Chains A and B, each alone.
Chain A
Amino acid sequence: MGGAPTDLKLIDERGLRLDGRRPDEMRPLKIEAGVLNKADGSAFVEWGMNKVMAAVYGPRECHPRHLQNTERALVQCHYNMASFSVEDRKRPGPDRRSHEISKILSEALTHVVFTEYFPRTSIDVYIEVLQANAGTRCAGLTAASVALADAGVPMRDLVASVAAGKVANTMVLDLGKEEDNFGQADIPVGYVPRTDEVVLLQMDGDLTREEFDKGLHMAVGACKKVYEVQRDALKRRYSSRAEGQEEGA
């Protein structure tokens, strides 16, 4: 978060953002489920200029062994950015930011997965950012939920995720790259629509309590829309397959 170059108008006279969006508008979101052959479940998310792939293996034997839990499955999320995903090429491999994101995503998903039915196993979730344009952890969590469902992992609900933020003293939804770089606050939120629960929440920047309240509600409202896209992706993936599955003939 920093001051914008003086000629950069994050919000113009008509109240529109750099890419022409209104403050409460999300970037275009597309989700496809079941896109990889080898993984047990997968999902590909295109969100604005973000391209994020999620893949799930498991439940399977837990590695490393010493992390095994005798009573439940471990949900292990591995978030990674490809070298070519960002403007300045990133060295391959996880950095501290990736580790932190992996941790909070694992925690968010653990809340909804019926981990108690798979003791001593691990459910491995891999998230690869192929192209980044701010909001990759939200796109990753959104993709991961769909991939878990695609893999047949039982869950209490899907987790939808989007970030709100403050830009040019205005609360906005779904920050783009410049808004993330030059805005005043960023609030990624992970939400469970059915139970109205927040499972991921971070914030950095400068906000009054009222601004945060507004941002949180904006994000939650948008998560409900994200959920519709997630559900639609799963139904489309299997819709043509529904017909005869139940019958033996």
Chain B
Amino acid sequence: MNTFSALKRDKGKCTAGHEANLCDLGLVPSVFIENMRVRQMGSNDSKEAAREIVVPGELLAISSKRAGPGTFSEGGKIYAAHLGIKSVRPDSISVVPLSGQYMPMRGDLVVGKIIGVGSSNWLVDINSPYPSPLHVNEVPWRVEFGETRKFMSVGDIVLLKIVGVDEIKRVSVSMQDHGLRKLTGGMVVELSPSKVPRVIGKNGSMIQTMKTMTGCRIYVGQNGRIWIDGELDNMVLAVKAIKMIEDEAHNLGLTEKVKRFLEENKVEGA
């Protein structure tokens, strides 16, 4: 008989210009990967500690510790639920993912694309197995029935927040919060959602560095989509920096390396 543990959410900072207040969610199977929270909880970990890769079904511990995200427990033992890095805390064990689809969680900031327009809602692709309806009540404008197309159409890029996910994974999103809106111009880069924490960096250090050095506006969605806008050469630089982070997410000292790369290739007047 499997038992799953509750996922308690901590308050955390999600940079990219927004303070995302992550509230307690209640009972959610610990299989749900929550990178940032696992990482933040572990910010006191020694860097020298060996990183152990674990595979699905691998025994992690026979312990009274809590089975954290990315694990499941059976018969008093804790096992890895997916491929990732074993992460041991004083009171829990979890597995940080190295890959995987974006699974929407309440409170997440996401970069979406409108893929359908109805009379009282829009359908949004949030880079997840679950497309999400955006209802007219959840946008900052007053939209009459049938007038949806006047405000947004297929192809538009939007910055949204996940407001709810039910038991069968129906996702509801909203544009009604400070900073959320339709994004015009710019360019969207996609990368594995499991790498998003690296792009944001510890306490937002990495993303801050990128924004400062390139002078670009950058919004990082938890769903593995990053919107960038700025002067073209700076955009190219930002895209390269993101690619570097994606390719070398495993290396220590990455922040320094990216910083140096941006310094050396800085475009004049940025």
Given a CB threshold of 8 Å, the question of whether A touches B is answered with yes
Residue positions of A touching B, CB distance < 8 A: 40-41, 58-61, 70-71, 112, 114, 117-121, 149-158, 192-194, 230-231, 234-235, 238-249
Q: Do B252 and A114 touch across chains, with their CB atoms under 8 A apart? A: no
The reply to whether the CB of B87 lies closer than 8 angstroms to some CB of chain A is yes
Instruction: Give the total of B residues in contact with A, Cβ under 8 Å.
Output: 55
| B202/A240 in contact, CB under 8 A | no
24 A-B residue pairs with CB within 8 Å: A58-B101, A70-B168, A112-B57, A114-B81, A117-B29, A149-B56, A152-B101, A154-B31, A154-B81, A158-B57, A192-B57, A235-B53, A240-B250, A241-B250, A243-B250, A244-B254, A245-B51, A245-B85, A245-B249, A246-B96, A248-B43, A249-B201, A249-B202, A249-B254
- The interface stretch among B16-24, B150-158, B192-200, B213-221 is B192-200
B131 at interface (Cβ–Cβ under 8 A)?
yes
Q: Are B51 and A41 in contact (CB under 8 A)?
A: no
Candidates B42, B70, B131, B255; contact of A249 at CB < 8 Å? B255
Q: B162: which A residues are within 8 A, CB to CB? A: none
Given contacts A120-B169, A157-B56, A157-B57, contact A245 B81 (CB under 8 A): no
Tell me whether B205 and A248 are in contact (CB under 8 A). yes
Decide: A248 and B206 in contact? CB cutoff 8 A. yes
Residues of B that sit less than 8 Å from A by CB: 29, 31-33, 38-39, 42-43, 45, 47, 51-53, 55-59, 70, 72, 79, 81-85, 87, 96-101, 103, 129-131, 168-169, 194, 197-198, 200-203, 205-206, 249-255
A240-B189 Cα distance, complex, nearest whole Å: 25
Q: How far is the CA of A60 from the CA of B126 in the complex (A)?
A: 12
Nearest-neighbor residue (CB-CB) of A244 within chain B:
B252
Assembled-state Cα–Cα distance A235/B43 (Å): 24
Q: Give bound CA distance, A23 to B131, whole Å.
A: 53
Contact call B56/A249, Cβ cutoff below 8 A: no
Bound CA–CA A194/B45 (angstroms): 30
A59 touches B202 (CB 8 A): no
CB–CB B251/A156 < 8 A? no
Assess whether B55 is in contact with A247, with CB atoms less than 8 Å apart: no
Quick check: B29 and A245 within 8 Å, CB to CB?
A: no
Q: Are A117 and B32 in contact (CB under 8 A)?
A: yes
Nearest-neighbour CB distance to chain B for A145, whole angstroms, equals 9
| B100: chain A residues within 8 A (beta carbon) | 151-153
Check if B99 sits within 8 Å of A40, measured CB to CB.
yes
Most buried by A among B52, B57, B131: B57
Nearest-neighbor residue (CB-CB) of A241 within chain B: B250
Contact of A60 among B79, B101, B103, B197 (CB under 8 A): B101
A176 to chain B, nearest CB (A): 29
**Chain A's nearest CB lies how many Å from the CB of B142?**
32
CA distance A242 to B100 in the complex (A): 16
Q: Which 6 A-B pairs have the closest CB atoms?
A: A152-B100, A248-B202, A157-B57, A241-B250, A242-B51, A152-B99
Closest A residue to B97 by CB, please name it.
A152
A234 with B31, Cβ < 8 A, contacts A152-B97, A242-B85, A248-B205 known: no
A246-B87 in contact (CB<8A) = yes
Interchain CB contact under 8 A, B55 and A235: yes
Contact A149 B55 (CB under 8 A): yes
Given known A-B contacts A245-B96, A248-B202, A238 and B83 have beta carbons under 8 A apart: yes
Q: How long is the Cα–Cα vector from A58 to B32 in the complex, in angstroms? A: 15
**Cβ-defined partner of B83 (8 Å) among A59, A149, A244, A249:** A149
Residues on A with C-beta less than 8 A from B33 are 152
Contact B39 A248 (CB under 8 A): yes
Given contacts A246-B45, A248-B203, A249-B201, contact A155 B81 (CB under 8 A): yes
Most A C-beta atoms less than 10 A away, residue of B100, B202, B249? B100
Contacts of B52 in A (CB 8 A): 242
- Name the B residues within 8 Å of A155 (CB-CB): 56-57, 81-82
- Known A117-B32, A246-B45: A59·B129 in contact at CB below 8 Å: yes
Contact residues in B for A152 (Cβ distance below 8 Å): 33, 82-84, 97-101, 194
Contacts of A149 in B (CB 8 A): 55-56, 82-83
Instruction: Report the minimum CB–CB distance from A205 to chain B (whole Å).
Output: 32
CA distance in complex: A234, B99 (Å): 12
Inside 8 A of B252's CB, which chain A residues have their CB?
243-244, 247, 249
| B-side contacts of A156, CB under 8 Å | 56-57, 72, 79, 81
20 new A-B contacts at CB < 8 Å, known A61-B129, A192-B57? A59-B101, A117-B31, A119-B168, A120-B129, A152-B99, A153-B56, A154-B70, A155-B82, A156-B72, A158-B56, A193-B57, A230-B55, A231-B55, A231-B58, A235-B55, A238-B53, A242-B85, A246-B87, A247-B45, A247-B252
**A110 CB to closest chain B CB, in angstroms?**
14
A150 surroundings in chain B (CB, below 8 A): 83, 99
